[in-house]
Structure 1
Amino acid sequence: MDYYRIGRVIKELRMQRSMTQKELSELICTQGQLSKIEKGEVIPNSSTLYELAGRLGVEISYIYEQASSERSDYVTETFKIIRQAIRDRDYEKVSEIIRAEKNNQLFQAPASRQFLTWHEGIIAYYTERNVERSLQLLQEATEITHQSSVYTERHCEILNSIGIIHFEEEQYDKAIIHFQKALDLLSQTPHEIDITIKIRILYNLSKACHLLKRYEKAIKYARQGIRACKRSEMMYLLGELYFQCASSMLAAGKEPSKVSQLLEQSLALFSLQEKHHFSEVVQQQLKMVNESTYMQVVPAQRKKES
């Protein structure tokens, strides 16, 4: 193994997560030691590497695998393509990639097999509508690299995927159980790495609670998601969270003016992001709320005038 690559992998993971050397090394080693590790000047001992991996949200085996693979860049790029295809709902493309790479020796390491199995479970549902096979594959994925004392970001993402399958099947109670477990485990990771995972889980929790008419909880989770977006200064799902919060507040009979304010914030974000379909939905909701408020206010004014 080229031990220089261990340092390079650690640095790449740290940069992907927008962490400073100080943040990564805190209570593990000195910043100077981490700098030498990343430059390949020193080899970290197993305990130091274990703690660094935990804070980076990966298994220690993942770092060794990436450092050992001469084609790790190819694996990483393939994963990026799969994730983008999932966001684009291009499930056929994901299916084709998995078929092509499943038996590729480069993808036989546990972390790589886990990633492919995870996405094989997703496409089993969306291309075949095979719920049983989908959940079986997703469960297998959680067990590939699972250790009783270590939960990685990916483990939480897979639990979120399981929750989504239950949500799609209108099994909202089961969905909430998995979303909540994913959220709880995410809080136990040594370092909150990718805030988008937390935001996504909170949004899913809010939607599921809303559909079960647990409006107060739906509002709570939506607000938590909004705060997470604001703290991290990102727009990821922020428009959706404003809309979800407004919808739950409206269903719960909250003050219309506050609902309107949330809808207007949602509309502004969707317009900025050119999410035209969402904008139309929000505009319809906003019109309904404003008309409802008008119908309540006008009779009251007439009563005063008389």
Structure 2
Amino acid sequence: MMSLASKIGDKVLGRRKELKMTQADLAKNICTQSQVSRIEKNEIMPSSETLYQIARRLNVSMDYFFGVEPVNNTIRGKKICEDYLESKEFETLEVFVDAQLQTILTEYEHRYLTWVKAVCAGYTKPDLEIAIKVLEELLDNPIKHQDYELEASINSSLSIFYKKLKDNEKAENRIRIARSIINENNLFNEVAAKIYYQYSALLISEESYEDALEMANEGINICIRHNILFLLDNLIYVACGAKQELGVISFKDRELCKVGYGLSKLKNNTVQIELYEKELKDYNLKN
């Protein structure tokens, strides 16, 4: 996937040349010519303020750089947020979200983008407490527009950050709430797969292997019933790992493990591939 930074650099270069403007012309009173050059070469990502000033100089809107889809009944820029959350390009995404938060938004759009910004901050800033505070405030202040998937995602993000702080009690409470929201509203999609994987992985870390196996199997069943490949390989790995710890793993489970390994290779999930290869190697040595 072409990174968002690459798209921005290419568009700055293309628009500047279209206007027959030099790098020095574009940089004047905004940044240095060297910075413009590095932006156009996709070496650096400009801050939201610098990008805003560049957009004004090039006589385009901020949407020009991000390729935001037209306004619909959901959220402008949601697809961009989803893509870059998945690819973990948090610093670049943060620039996009900052730009969107400067525009006129509905209450619902503001809530969604605030969640995304908090998630980005949780991974890019040293103080997790700030991100946690923003997410807790979102949950303390619900809005009329009920998006259960978003509410589940906010709780899921809180669970991740509490786990990073080693507060497993709060982490488990939040992921339990997220799971309840998913089940009560029949939201069986990629968000559901993520929540079941997150819950089962948390239980593995707590050595609650029977509960972890139950959560992983529920997640696997959801993926199979609803044709969701997202995180299926991760869920299979957790289920097999829990059975291994419980001493109940069978030949059939090992065959399932090979299926998960194949899925990881198809997705080029390098981290998961390494985990599977170690697991399968250990199994072959024991047998």
TM-score (norm. length: structure 2): 0.70
Alignment counterpart, residue 221 of structure 1, candidates 212, 215, 224? 215
Q: Within 1, Cα distance between the matches of 2:141 and 2:71?
A: 19
Which deviates more, 272-281 or 243-252? 272-281
Q: Which residue of 2 is the match for residue 159 of structure 1?
A: 155
Shift of 1:290: 2.1
Q: Which residue of 1 is the match for residue 202 of structure 2?
A: 208
1:285 aligns with 2:279: yes
Q: Which residue of 2 is the match for residue 262 of structure 1?
A: 256
Higher-RCO chain (CA-CA 8 Å, sequence separation at least 6): 1
Give matches, 1:182-193, under 5 Å: 182-189=178-185, 192-193=186-187
The DSSP-based 3-state class of the residue aligned with 2:75 is helix
> 1:17-63 CA deviation, whole Å, 9 max, x = no partner?
xxxxxxxxxxxxxxxxxxxxxxxxxxxxxxxxxxxxxxxxxxxxxxx
> 1:205-251 CA deviation, whole Å, 9 max, x = no partner?
10000010000000000000110011012211111111111111111
Q: Within 1, Cα distance between the matches of 2:242 and 2:269?
A: 21
- Please tell me the residue identity of whatever aligns with 2:81: I
The DSSP-based 3-state class of the residue aligned with 1:129 is coil
Q: Within 2, Cα distance between the matches of 1:172 and 1:221?
A: 17
Count residues with an aligned counterpart. Answer: 218
1:112 aligns with 2:109: yes
Shift of 1:74: 11
The 3 A distance-change label for structure 1 pair 221 and 211 is same
The DSSP-based 3-state class of the residue aligned with 2:171 is helix
Q: Within 1, Cα distance between the matches of 2:167 and 2:255?
A: 32
Give matches, 1:1-306, under 5 Å: 72-73=71-72, 76-105=75-104, 107=105, 109-146=106-143, 152-189=148-185, 192-292=186-286, 294=287
Shift of 1:272: 2.4
TM-score (norm. length: structure 1): 0.66
The DSSP-based 3-state class of the residue aligned with 2:77 is helix
Shift of 1:172: 2.4
Q: Within 1, Cα distance between the matches of 2:174 and 2:102?
A: 30
Gaps of 5+ in 2: 1-69
> 1:148-191 CA deviation, whole Å, 9 max, x = no partner?
x96622111111111111122332232111111111122223xx
Gaps of 5+ in 1: 1-70, 295-306
Q: Within 2, Cα distance between the matches of 1:251 and 1:168?
A: 24
Q: Is the 8 A contact 1:114 1:142 kept in 2?
A: no
- Please tell me the residue identity of whatever aligns with 2:243: M
Shift of 1:83: 1.8
Aligned residues: CA RMSD: 2.2
Question: Which one has the bigger helix percentage?
Answer: 1
